Amino acid sequence: MRMQLYRINYIRMFILTMFLLIPKIYANEFYVNSILTFQKAHDAAVEGDKIIWQNGIYSNINIAITKNKLSLIAESPGGVIFNGSSTFYINGNNNTFSGFQFISGNTSAIVITVAGNYNVITQLNFENYSAQKYINLLGQYDEVSYCNFKNKPASAPIGNLIHIAPDGNVPNYARIRYCSFQNMSGNGGDNGNECIRVANGAQSAYSCRTIIEYCYFENTGPGDSEVISVKSRENIIRYCTNINNQKGNFCFRNGDDNVAYCNFFINAGGIRIKEANNIYCYNNYFQNCGDGQITAPVKYVYVSPNLNNINFIHNTFIDGTSIELDANAVKNNWANNIFQKTNGNIFKGSAPGISWSGNIYNGTLGLQILAGMNNKDPQLIPNSEGYLIINSTSPAVNSSSSQYPVLLDIPVLDDDPSILFDIAGNTRPADRLLKDAGCFEVSSGVIKNRPLKLSDVGPEYLKNQTSVEKEKKEAGHSKLLQNFPNPFNPETTIKYNVPEVDFHNSADGVLYQQYVSLKIYDLLGREVSTLVDELKLPGNYSAVFNARNITDTYLTSGIYFCRLQAGKNIEIQKMILLK
């Protein structure tokens, strides 16, 4: 009898144990529309539940999430807008915060503070929101992804958009991914309004191990010259695109042992290195970078006793302002880079502390370099994604030198210290001597990494704006579309729009003509063709360019620029002639 009871109790205990181990299959969903209803839902919620904000506009919402494994989401992505002085504090772990917009609010505080671990902040849109900071990450393994940060007002309190605040005892392992940053207003310079700041200067010895990847930066330099400001140790910037942002650069401001690889800098600032050592930059692409003042393709800013062991390996530099070096840099290494510059000097400053090896250049160096600089045409040609690569007969093929130090391999993080891949994601030979110079390896592989577009990043719901909304945004401005096909040979079609002229919102119903010119220029700024030069009524137009110049001679392969002027509005598009 006792044995029978023991067996029954054992079975009951086994069933109870198994029940407790089985995860909850059905999550509760709580719909909320106020601080009060949220608090009730939060108090009742358990791990796995969803708290859903009903669509609408909400002001002055200040709440805290202290539980774990909850999803706080919008009823429909983008359908919930917070403004006023709304702030959120996430102190729990493994939570998801998704689908909200923060538009035209005003607070002197931080909008979202994440103090817990393994939280995901995703699919958010910040636009014209006045706040000190938008997102502040204090925990470990937190992620900010697919968010858009746009038009922070110049009158807003000084503060960066995303801030990573490290703990001196443990790395953060934060990850910022697939985010877009646009249109920071101001006069440029170092103003404390960085898009992303990784720690503060006083924390430069802390190991943070943040990864910033697949992020897009455009026209943020007027707000602050430091698009990304790294002020701690062991961080990675990769696969990002800095474009149309001549006043904005990626800056290794404080802290040693940091890496930047496979980034695109196009018509933008480049990389600035200040109070830092042991910096490794490889497989990056720089085209038309620098403003000649605070930004350059690469800019050294010496603060004693730094600029020790700065490494630029397998990068490609095309045109732009001069690379700015410093005589105080020591034990620096520049190896297997390509430099092509049409006008002006490639370098300025002096470089007694730099070792050069395996580099190829086409242009004027600007300083005396006795070895490691080969004066040859790298034979750069446009690829299908519109940036320049070496062709199969380039002297850069299999030309690399092995004379550079072992690159930094940051513990735990997935990086590429042996440069086994090029900027396009294609495989490079393991043997240093067999790698191609520059950031691109000649290969028949599919291009996996290219300059990002806005459509690649940010919240999905922003990519689905109605045509009416787009027309409202574009009203009163000419529009020059990208030519098609591009690259082209020999003909391409250029479509453009001439807007209505707004004479103080006159309602007389008259459509006014305005002067329109559509011209083609080469890389040196010389006019090669005029397609339109006349008065036109508002409307949509197209023109065909047949790759002939003013003398009716076919143009050579290369990059050209199409310039549209409609009234006072001017737009430019880059075109690639590929024969």
pLDDT in tens, the chain (579 residues): 434 434 445 445 444 444 444 444 457 999 999 999 999 999 999 999 999 999 999 999 999 999 999 999 999 999 999 999 999 999 999 999 999 999 999 999 999 999 999 999 999 999 999 999 999 999 999 999 999 999 999 899 999 999 999 999 999 999 999 999 999 988 888 888 999 999 999 999 999 999 999 999 999 999 999 999 999 999 999 999 999 999 999 999 999 999 999 999 999 999 999 999 999 999 999 999 999 999 999 999 999 999 999 999 999 999 999 999 999 999 999 999 999 999 999 999 998 999 999 999 999 999 999 899 999 999 999 888 878 999 999 999 999 999 999 999 999 999 999 999 999 999 999 999 999 999 999 976 778 889 999 999 999 999 855 333 443 444 456 788 888 888 888 999 999 988 876 443 334 444 567 889 999 988 777 889 999 988 888 888 999 999 999 888 889 888 888 989 887 677 888 888 877
pLDDT at residue number 522: 83
- For 488, the token pair is 């082209």
Q: Where are the domains of the chain?
A: 31-454, 475-577
> Cβ neighbours of residue 9 under 8 Å, at least 6 residues apart?
none
> CA–CA separation, 263 vs 579, rounded Å?
28
Peptide linkage before 157 cis (omega within 30 of 0): no
Radius of gyration of the chain (CA): 27
The region, left, alpha or beta by phi > 0 then psi within -120 to 50, assigned to residue 362 is: beta
> CA–CA separation, 352 vs 365, rounded Å?
15
> CA–CA separation, 254 vs 204, rounded Å?
6
Within 10 A of 432 (CB to CB), how many other CB atoms are there?
18
Q: How many helices (H) and strands (E) does the chain have?
A: 3, 49
pLDDT at residue number 479: 83
31-454 classified as CATH 2.10.10.90: no
Measured in degrees and rounded to the nearest 5, phi and psi for residue 87 equal -145, 150
pLDDT at residue number 476: 53
pLDDT at residue number 515: 82
Cβ-contact 81, 101 below 8 angstroms: yes
- The dotted CATH code for 475-577 is 2.60.40.1930
- For 515, the token pair is 């002067």
> CA–CA separation, 545 vs 139, rounded Å?
55
> CA–CA separation, 74 vs 62, rounded Å?
16
> Cβ neighbours of residue 205 under 8 Å, at least 6 residues apart?
168, 232, 233, 255
> Cβ neighbours of residue 492 under 8 Å, at least 6 residues apart?
483, 484, 485, 486, 544, 545, 547, 575
pLDDT at residue number 4: 46
Cβ-contact 432, 335 below 8 angstroms: no
pLDDT at residue number 507: 43
pLDDT at residue number 220: 96
